[in-house]
Amino acid sequence: MSMFPIASYTVGAGGSYGVDLSSISQAYTHLQVRIFARSAGSIADHVRVSPLNDQTPTNYRCHYLYGNGTSALSGSNQTTAGQIGFLTSGIPYSTSQSNTFATYIVDILDYTNTSKYKTVKAIGGWDDNNVSGTNANVSLSSYVWMNTAAITSVTIASVNNPMVQGTRIDLYGITSSGITGA
Amino acid sequence: MVPIYTQTVGAGGVYGITFNNIPSTYNDLRIDISARSTSTETKLAALINGDTASNYSMTEVTAVGSGTPASARGSSNTYFLNFGSIAQNATANTFSSTTIYIPNYCGSAFKQIIIEGVGEANQTAAPSTLTAALWRNTSAINSIYITGQGFNLAQYSTFTLYGIKNA
């Protein structure tokens, strides 16, 4: 087996903005975060996944490719404070279809490698039978963290409002092989 | 998910990497690629079982960091994976992030391949892709070769092949 659960966080009654996961084991090669989330707020919201130890916007550059059922768009920006590590498709909110959560799979390859800047890649989104219109979408989003330091902690949190009970965040460590197969 | 093989490019770079003798004991394959090029060219190519004939096709949605994404379809290609590394002259220490999924790689159908990739290099114009590809061959996959399209892969580029078994 190569994919090992490191941490799991489930939002309870009362809601929560998310979690800071620190002291991440350096024993793995890659990290994967799996997110199942919904906002308690009344406006469209986003989840961000970012290294906890660096919240300087100029150390990041992000891009996105997404579709919302009407348009397909792509873009780039140097993130602003508080929006570092955006997952572009957002998450459902209070007036979205009930019992609907967004799903994301976030990969961070070579997170301990001190010869590389870290690229975070996320695929995911949500559909709610057109209740939320173009606020529901699917995306491939990414950013580079321009730091060769190993990632030892991450913040996974909503931006505008707390997330509801039932929201789940899982962090996995993925190992590599000692055999080349060459 | 089990790591089968990992290759890390050493100093001096390498033209390509090959995963040979892929065991047939899994159901699906996954390949994670973190790559950088030794030239200004960035697109990788991949071959299955050494097949260099026109047995591949791809449907792609691609973006370059702004504007309307593009979609293209290519048939009768001699490789798959038209994406995948960061240029030599891009911001230092940046590497692409690409994942390839090949479900049912030992099955008797043609092989469907899904690719998601991003090339973050602190630039406005950074590529991303969602690609569906097909290898029109019913043979089990026993080797995969990944190379730059006319360039070497740079030091610290990594390639890991995983086997995924169902319940």
Question: Considering only alpha carbons, which residue of chain B is nearest residue A60?
Answer: B122
Give CA–CA dist B2/A164, Å, rounded.
34
Between chain A and chain B, how many beta carbons pairs sit less than 8 Å apart?
146
SS3 state of residue B69? coil
pLDDT at residue number A54: 83
Give B23's pLDDT tier (boundaries 50, 70, 90).
very high
Give CA–CA dist A1/B4, Å, rounded.
10
Backbone angles phi, psi at B135, to 5 degrees: -105, 115
What average pLDDT does this structure show over B14-42? 95
CA dihedral sign, ordered A169, A90, B62, B67: negative
Closest among A13, A62, A10 to A37, alpha carbons compared: A10
pLDDT at residue number B63: 92
Rounded to two decimals, the ipTM of the complex is 0.84
Chain A residues 48-107 within an 8 A CB cutoff of chain B: 61-65, 72-76, 107
Entry pTM = 0.90
Give CA–CA dist A11/A29, Å, rounded.
28
For A121-147, what is the HEC assignment? EEEEECCCCCCCHHHCCEEEEEEEECC
Residue whose entry in the numeric block shows the structure tokens 């065991």: B23
pLDDT at residue number A82: 64
Among candidates A117, A143, A177 on the partner chain, residue whose Cβ is nearest the Cβ of B3:
A177
Q: Who contacts A102 (Cβ-Cβ below 8 Å, separation ≥6)?
A: A35, A36, A37, A38, A47, A89, A90, A91, A92, A124, A125, A126
Question: Considering only alpha carbons, which residue of chain A is nearest residue B64?
Answer: A74
User: What amino acid occupies position B114?
Assistant: I
Closest among A146, A128, A148 to A137, alpha carbons compared: A128
